[in-house]
Each structure stands twice: as structure tokens, then as C-alpha cells.
Amino acid sequence: MERQFLESVFKAQKFSAKDGALLADTLVDADLRGISSHGIQRLAWYSRMIKDHTLEPERQPKILKETPTSLLVDANKSMGQIASAFTMEKLIAKTKQMGVSLAVIRNSNHFGTAGYYSRMACKEGLIGISTTNTRPLVVPTNSLEAFLGSNALAFTFPADPHPFVFDGATAVVSSGKIQVLAKKGEQIPGDWAVDENRNVLHDAKTVEDNLAKIAFSEDRPGGGVLTLGGQDEVNSNYKGFGNSLIIELLTGILAQGSLSADTNKGKHDFSQFFMTIDPALFGDLDVLKANATKMFDRIRHLKHLPGTKIMIPGDREYRHYDENLEQGVSIDETTLAEMQAVGDEFGVTVPTEETVED
Amino acid sequence: MERQFLESVFKAQKFSAKDGALLADTLVDADLRGISSHGIQRLAWYSRMIKDHTLEPERQPKILKETPTSLLVDANKSMGQIASAFTMEKLIAKTKQMGVSLAVIRNSNHFGTAGYYSRMACKEGLIGISTTNTRPLVVPTNSLEAFLGSNALAFTFPADPHPFVFDGATAVVSSGKIQVLAKKGEQIPGDWAVDENRNVLHDAKTVEDNLAKIAFSEDRPGGGVLTLGGQDEVNSNYKGFGNSLIIELLTGILAQGSLSADTNKGKHDFSQFFMTIDPALFGDLDVLKANATKMFDRIRHLKHLPGTKIMIPGDREYRHYDENLEQGVSIDETTLAEMQAVGDEFGVTVPTEETVED
């Protein structure tokens, strides 16, 4: 039902049927995987982007430059998902010929979860890498103001019973994770965000309001999300800073688009970077896959803290996927109200159960 | 003088003149850059590896499989530096033809700093990526025992006045950084290492002794170095864990060598992964370089905590390099004693000043 509602909204917003189905699939997929930060709760934001012409639903991506191992793509201000799936399909074909290929997309928008595209590569027996820059949110080491995006990275590797899927912001958390807590009225449980003096904040609503100012206006209030490694240089937060900078270089810089820092003014464009690698360059896929599977199993069974589990990246989302396919996805009150407003605007009926099934 | 001493030792250890010069250059280069964890303090370890035949100085790397975009190399149990420089030279040539290329090395040893090889690519106007697995040292999220290596990653991007050089363990710190503190009798200033109950330890000597058991024996005492993100899952230490696992997949798994977890028994082999990318696939090198330089300058000048600096990866090491070329590198007492022992064994005179100049 979530899928049908989304497809109807996207159709009313003038996306083609194919593009609307892709967009709906990426949001439903995120909710099913328990990544509610990147699920239907983004719909209200996507709808606002159409209104302010950050996003042009009828446009299609264009290839600007192509070699046997690379693509430079102009997303043409359409939704990030559309240019990203288009690009990843082409990279898969190139890598089957050349062993490796990579692409950069400019003039793009939010692309959903990075993992969606890396998993496309993995289904074909390839290693998939997907990255994006974002609105400015993240404070570099020692900085009192945000500059970097949360800058997602996804990396997939074939394994059983499910692929290795590392998928997340290079920052401590994505802004979506804070939005979800704020919508539920919950507190931030860790050292995720700081104020203009780099003091850690725990009230999700306060942080969300501040991040919204940083990300969506030209105000420059201080503070933001921390880099991985936390508040203090002594715990190597400059490594998290470095990881985030690598994504800025591969996206905004290589694409000659905006830096995350500048997406809150004027052009509002995001850039994305993708790469696929054929592991068969180095060994038999089945052997490599079996070896990876064995390694993950050994790690899952290491001695661990009582009451905890050791989970391999992907374990949590594939478990959620199976459970949620059975039980349906539960959606918070704020997001339901936003769905209602979007539904009213475009004449689409919102599914009535609080538990909205796929 | 450090260089001359090292070249004489390596000659006496039966490395070729060319290989000995390369090895000396990588250690001197690390000391000059202020990365003393990977400088001459590693000599005693390298010498022990020759004795126990983990390392065979007279062997040369062999290419096992080659395509226009890839290489699979057998380091043939020689020193990691030798196969790595050999491989990076070949990748630079391939990427100038194909835009991107990548390589995996098996049967290797410690390769010094990862940054050394990535900087080779950067000198040619390319993006350079270098990674290695290591001895087991790092505890996965929630784990009470080590499994992962410290798993270094280096990434370079052309910029002025020096390239972007991100170079370090994916773990909070490398074991070398703890060794340096232990040799100086200093305490660990942050949350870097834990005991068998995941309680943070601060005594560098205690931690070093424990890591030595984990890394160099088949004992399996608990504890180890933390993943980036620290002690607690709530601060996303699973992201640091994921970063480390990505390196295990690209090295031990793709190379079909040992996992970090298994390098403490039997084969003692490390694996390495390298990649070079031509930014000219996507834009003019001079423009991209100027844009990266501008971004770094903006970040350096963000509002920051009083008494701190915002440093771009590479800033610290290039500053040290210039200073140390002038002033010479200072070497701790323990390392001087180790140099003396190695010098005595191979009939090479140790430079006498406590400050050993290049």
C-alpha cells in the first residue's frame, strides 16, 4: 500500500511511470530494511523540492562524457535515484567488459540510500560502491561550524546468505536518523551533534531545528553533526573527517558541481560517484564468495559482550527486510500527517492503517 | 645518516641495492613526515622477520594475472614495499591508458606507510588508493577479542601547496602509535584499546604487551584496539568496523591470502590492494586541482575551537617533512638501542648523534 500511494503521488507530480516506480521502490525498500530515515519520511522534502524547482520531475539524465571505463552524467536536476539507477546499469555492463568502471553524476538530487545502487552491482556478482554528497551538516575536526555533508558511502561484496552491505553516512549519523528521533519525540542517545561551541547536544528536536537552518537556509548558525570518532581529536575524529573529505573529492569536486557546503544556496545540486569492480579479475567468484561468507561467520561467533550481538554490515537490514515483509512497516505520526498533506494536495488517498504494508 | 645506516643494514641482510634503497627511503620518509610509528622503529621487527623466514630478502615479486585494468601479484614473501612500489608503477602506466586500474598483492609483508604508494600516483596527476591488512589487533563492535587488522587506507588527490594525503589505520590508531608511546613510557591519551571485557586501558606498555601476544603468538588473550567510533555501538563504532571489513575484503579475501586474523599463525602473509584513477576522465586536472585547493583553504579558515587548528589530511605530515629536513629526526632511546643491536649483528656502525639526520 505504501508503494501504491507513492506511485500515485509521483505520477501526479509528473514523474514518468518508470521513474515513479523506481522512486517508490527505493523508499519502500529503505523502510523494509529498517532504514526509516531514508524511507517514506523523505516524501515531504521531495515534494518541497519540486515546488522550489530544485527538482524537475520530467527531466532525464544525459551522458556528457564516456570511455570504456567511465561515465560523466548530468542528472539534469531530476531526482538522484533516476540518474543513479541509469548510471549503475551502464557501469555493470562496462565492468563485465573491462573489469572495473566508475562514474560521476552532477546536477543531481538526493538519491535515497546509497546501498540501493551497490546492491544492483552485487546481484550481478560485482563489488558495488556508491557515494553522494549532501546538504551541509557536518563539522570538521575542531570546527565550530558545518561544512561537510553527511556524505554516504555504500560498499557491497557478494556473500551468503546475503551480501555484505555497508551503507551509511561517513559522519557519525545521517540527518535522517536525527529527524526520525525528533519525529518520535526521543532524545539522541550518543555523541552525535554539537552546538556552536562544540558542546554535545542530546535534544533531537533542538538539533533538527539547527540542522534545518544550516542545511536549508543561508544562515550560518554554528554547530552540526560530528565526524566519526566524535567530539575530540584524541580519538582520531580527523579520520572520520578524512573519510568525509574523500567523498567530497569524489563527488562535488570530480563532478565540478557544488560542494556540500554550497548546496544550501543557489544551485542546490548534489553530486554522486559510483564504481563497480569484477572480483573475477582476481579469483573465482564462488570461491571468493565462500571465503567472505566463512570470514563473516567466524566474526559473528567471536566472544562478545553479554546481551549483545556481533552483526556484519547487512545483517540488520536483511533481518528487518524479512520481518517487515511479513509484518508491514510502522510509520510515525508526524510522517503520517505529512503523507496526508501530500496526499490531499495531489488527490491521492493515504493508506488508513497506521501499519502500512508494502 | 639514517638512510645510509639503513641501506648498509639492508645490504648486509641480502636485499639488492635497489630494494634496500627503496626500503630505506620508505622508513626515512615516514620519520621525516612525523609518522615515527612507521619509521626506523620498525627495523627491529623487519630484522626478526628475516630470521624466522616470514620475509625472504632475495625474492622478487611475480605477476600472476594481468588485464588492461588489473594486476594480481605474488610478493613472493619479500618485503611489502618491494611488491607495492613495483605494482604501483605498473598501475600508473595502466591508468594513463585506461583511466582506472587496480591490483591485489598476496604473500606480502608489512609495506610501511600506505601513503607512500598513493603519493606515487599523485605525483603523476592521479588519485591513488593503497590498503593493506595486518596482524590481528582490532576488536569488532561488541567483540571481546581481536580479529581485524589495523588495516591502513591511504587516499591521495592532487592539490596545492601539497596533495591531499589521507593515510592511516582504519582502526582508531595503528599498533605503531601505541608502540611509540610505550617506548617513551607515556600513557594513552584517548579511548584506543580495551581489555578482555572491553574496558578501556590507558597504560601503553600494558596494551603493547597484550597486542604483541595477540599479533605474534597463537595465544588468544582478549581485548585489542577499538574500531573508529570507540567503545560503544551508540556512537556508530560499527561504521569503523565496516570500514575495516571493507579493507579485509579488498586485501585478504580478494588476494586469497590470509585474513588479518590468521597472520599470527603459519603463513604470516599480508595482502595489499591498490587503485589509481585518472581525474581527467571527468574534468581538466588543473581545474580540479584548483577547486580542491580552494575547498581545503575554506575549511582551514572555518571558525574553530580556540587554541586549535583545522588541518587537512597531509598538512601535518608536509609541515613535519619541511621541519625535519632542516632539523633532523629525533629517535627515542629504545629504538636507538634496537638500532645498535641490529648494527652490531650486521657489522654496521650506528650514527652516534641522538638526532639522526637524513
Contact B101 A104 (CB under 8 A): no
Block mean pLDDT (10 aa), chain B, length 358 = 93 97 97 92 93 95 98 97 98 98 97 97 98 97 98 98 97 93 94 98 97 89 97 97 98 98 91 98 98 98 97 96 92 91 94 56
Residues A159 and A275 both lie in one domain: yes
Mean pLDDT of A80-109: 98
Ranges assigned E (strand) in A90-215: 100-108, 127-132, 152-157, 164-169, 193-194, 200-201
Contact A140 B292 (CB under 8 A): no
pLDDT surpassing 70 at residue A332 = yes
| A310 part of contact set with chain B, CB < 8 Å | yes
Chain B residues closer than 8 Å to A241 by CB: 313
Contact A281 B102 (CB under 8 A): yes
pLDDT tier, A356 (very low <50, low <70, confident <90, very high otherwise): very low
Residues A10 and A78 both lie in one domain: no
Chain A residues closer than 8 Å to B189 by CB: 234
The CATH number for A142's domain is 3.30.1370.60
pLDDT surpassing 60 at residue A354 = no
Q: Which residues pair with residue B70 across a beta bridge?
A: B67, B102
Contact A147 B299 (CB under 8 A): yes
Residues A39 and A166 both lie in one domain: no
Contact B173 A147 (CB under 8 A): no
Residues A237 and A353 both lie in one domain: no
Residue A170: φ, ψ to 5°: -75, -20
Residue A133 lies in a domain: yes
Hey, of A236, A260, A308, which one would you mutate to test binding to chain B, going by the most B CBs within 10 A of its CB? A236
Q: Which of A223, A252, A281 is the last residue of a domain?
A: A281
pLDDT surpassing 80 at residue A352 = no
pLDDT tier, A357 (very low <50, low <70, confident <90, very high otherwise): very low
Residues B137 and B273 both lie in one domain: yes
Integer Cα distance of B188 and B203 in angstroms: 6
Chain B residues closer than 8 Å to A291 by CB: 253, 256
Residue A224 lies in a domain: no
Residues A239 and A344 both lie in one domain: no
| A187 part of contact set with chain B, CB < 8 Å | no
Integer Cα distance of A277 and A92 in angstroms: 9
Q: Which of A263, A281, A299 is the last residue of a domain?
A: A281
Integer Cα distance of B232 and A186 in angstroms: 19
Residue B271 lies in a domain: yes
| A255 part of contact set with chain B, CB < 8 Å | yes
| Helix, strand and coil percent figures for chain A, each rounded to 5 | 45, 20, 35
Residue B29 lies in a domain: yes
**Which A positions 167-186 lie with beta carbon below 8 A of chain B?**
168, 170, 172-173
Mean pLDDT of A245-270: 95
Residues B144 and B268 both lie in one domain: yes
Contact A191 B235 (CB under 8 A): yes
Residues A334 and A265 both lie in one domain: no
The nearest CA of chain A is from the CA of B36 a distance in Å of: 17
pLDDT of amino acid A274: 98
Mean pLDDT of A98-115: 97
| B310 part of contact set with chain A, CB < 8 Å | yes
Indicate the residue of B172, B192, B310 with minimum beta-carbon distance to A140.
Answer: B310
Mean pLDDT of A242-256: 98
Could you tell me how many residues make up chain A?
Answer: 358
Chain B residues closer than 8 Å to A104 by CB: 282
Residue A200 lies in a domain: no
Contact B232 A142 (CB under 8 A): no
The CATH number for B38's domain is 1.10.1530.10
Residues A264 and A340 both lie in one domain: no
Residues A69 and A54 both lie in one domain: no
Residue B302 lies in a domain: no
Q: Which residues pair with residue A157 across a beta bridge?
A: A164
Residue A353 lies in a domain: yes
Mean pLDDT of A251-266: 95
| B334 part of contact set with chain A, CB < 8 Å | no
Integer Cα distance of A306 and A291 in angstroms: 28
Integer Cα distance of B256 and B244 in angstroms: 17
Hey, of A178, A220, A281, A312, which one would you mutate to test binding to chain B, going by the most B CBs within 10 A of its CB? A281
pLDDT of amino acid A228: 98
- Smallest CA–CA distance from A238 into chain B, residue: B313
The nearest CA of chain A is from the CA of B302 a distance in Å of: 6
Q: What is the pairing mode between strands B270-277 and B62-67?
A: unpaired
pLDDT of amino acid A355: 46
Hey, of B246, B282, B297, B301, which one would you mutate to test binding to chain A, going by the most A CBs within 10 A of its CB? B282
- Smallest CA–CA distance from A98 into chain B, residue: B69
- Smallest CA–CA distance from A102 into chain B, residue: B100
The nearest CA of chain A is from the CA of B14 a distance in Å of: 31
Residue A347 lies in a domain: yes
DSSP B225: E
The span from the first CA to the last CA of chain B, in angstroms, equals: 5
Domain span holding position B161: 60-170+233-281
Q: Which candidate, B233, B234, B243, places its Cα nearest to that of A153?
A: B243
pLDDT tier, A353 (very low <50, low <70, confident <90, very high otherwise): low
Residues B131 and B3 both lie in one domain: no
Please state, as a whole number, how many other Cβ atoms lie within 10 Å of the Cβ of residue B160: 12
Residues B71 and B165 both lie in one domain: yes
Burial pattern A180-196, b for ≥16 Cβ within 10 A else e, equals: bbbbeeeebebbbbbbe
Q: What is the pLDDT of residues A272-293, one digit of tens each?
A: 999 999 999 999 999 999 999 9
Count of domains for chain A: 2
Integer Cα distance of A128 and A116 in angstroms: 10
Integer Cα distance of B49 and B270 in angstroms: 13
Q: Which of B281, B312, B340 is the last residue of a domain?
A: B281
Q: What is the ipTM of this complex?
A: 0.96
| A69 part of contact set with chain B, CB < 8 Å | yes
